[in-house]
A = this chain, B = another copy of it.
Amino acid sequence: MKLRELGELGLIERLKGFEGKGLLAAIGEDAAVLDLDGERLLFTADLLVEGVHFRREYTPFESLGQKAVAVNLSDLAACGAVPLIYTVSLVVSPEEEWSSVEELYRGMVRGGGQYGAQLAGGDISKGETLTISIALLGRAPDGKVVLRRGAEEGDLLYVSGWLGEAAMGLRLLEAGQRVGRLVRRHLLPEPRVELGRELAKRGLATAMIDLSDGFLRDLGHLLRSSGKGAMVDLDRFPLSDDLLEVAHSMGLDPLEIALTGGEDYELLFAVNPSRKEEVEALGRELEVKLSQVGWITAEGLDLRKGGSPYHPCGPPGFDHLR
């Protein structure tokens, strides 16, 4: 069977058979978790491949570097960990200018430095397709981590920030626009490191994932890992005025974009109803918008809009093998 037929999820499912048995979590989580004599270490890796994850014509190298680190930071944020060090393995053409590579690393160091992540080496090889492979090590200082599994029936479902903006920004870039808030949301995602850490530290989230592949697809990951279902009330969905305005001007459905567009790098998490006030207080404290968009059910996925069932039109998100 070809990988195209298997798809990304099918492949990940099969690869689980190869994961180490001495880990608290590994394949199928945002990061692997290792307990090392009481020190809880988290380890994650993400690739950016030219033509798949980015296009050179509208991606300045400095923002590309910053984003390459940010997507890894977001994985640690989803586990409630703080970053330590990262390696960068780079496949690059020998014809590339040093000045471009310098911008790339300047972006990585800026993106990591904001959150205390330090560049610790890596590898370099020539190759036709620019590929940035980052592995990031982090820790949970108090040992508290949150995984995708752990959501319980009745838990409230929250998302941070405004959804769909990065996907809308990508469409603007594809249409030739180079500036503006939505374009920046695509080029320079801000990982929710502090929010993730506080949710873990205060024991507020029962399950958590970052939104990289699209809300519906990532919710599916969380539900599958937790063995649960969800009811999502789309009337509560956080759609910004910017998104609504641009989507309408381009004749697009903003809700569809928010449901299936990837790369928001916001956090989606489940919370026991008894902790509702604390979570909302945390949002105010960190000045992060938190929206309760639904709750966990025993099984299945119900989307409701205006009280009626809602059926999304497109595929639920991005498959990196199709």
Contact = CB atoms under 8 A, between A and B. Distances in A.
A21 B92 contact: no
Contacts of A277: none
Contacts of A124: 8, 11-12, 47, 320-321
Interface string A80-113: 0000110111011111111101100110110000
A131 interface: yes
B89 A46 contact: yes
B20 A87 contact: no
Contacts of A23: 85, 118, 120
A281 interface: no
A59 B246 CA distance: 51
A125 to B, nearest CB: 5
Contacts of A234: none
Main secondary structure on A side of the interface with B: mixed
A49 B126 CA distance: 8
Interface string A8-30: 10011011001111110011110
A260 to B, nearest CB: 19
> How extensive is the interface on chain A, given as a class?
35 or more
Interface stretch (A33-41, A185-193, A218-226, A236-244): A33-41
Interface string A243-259: 00000000000000000
Contacts of A87: 32, 43-45, 135
A177 interface: no
Given A41-B137, A47-B133, A53-B125, A34 B1 contact: no
Interface of A: 1-4, 6, 8, 11-12, 14-15, 18-23, 26-29, 31-32, 34, 36-37, 39, 41, 43-47, 49, 51-53, 84-85, 87-89, 91-99, 101-102, 105-106, 108-109, 118-129, 131, 133, 135, 137, 139, 320-322
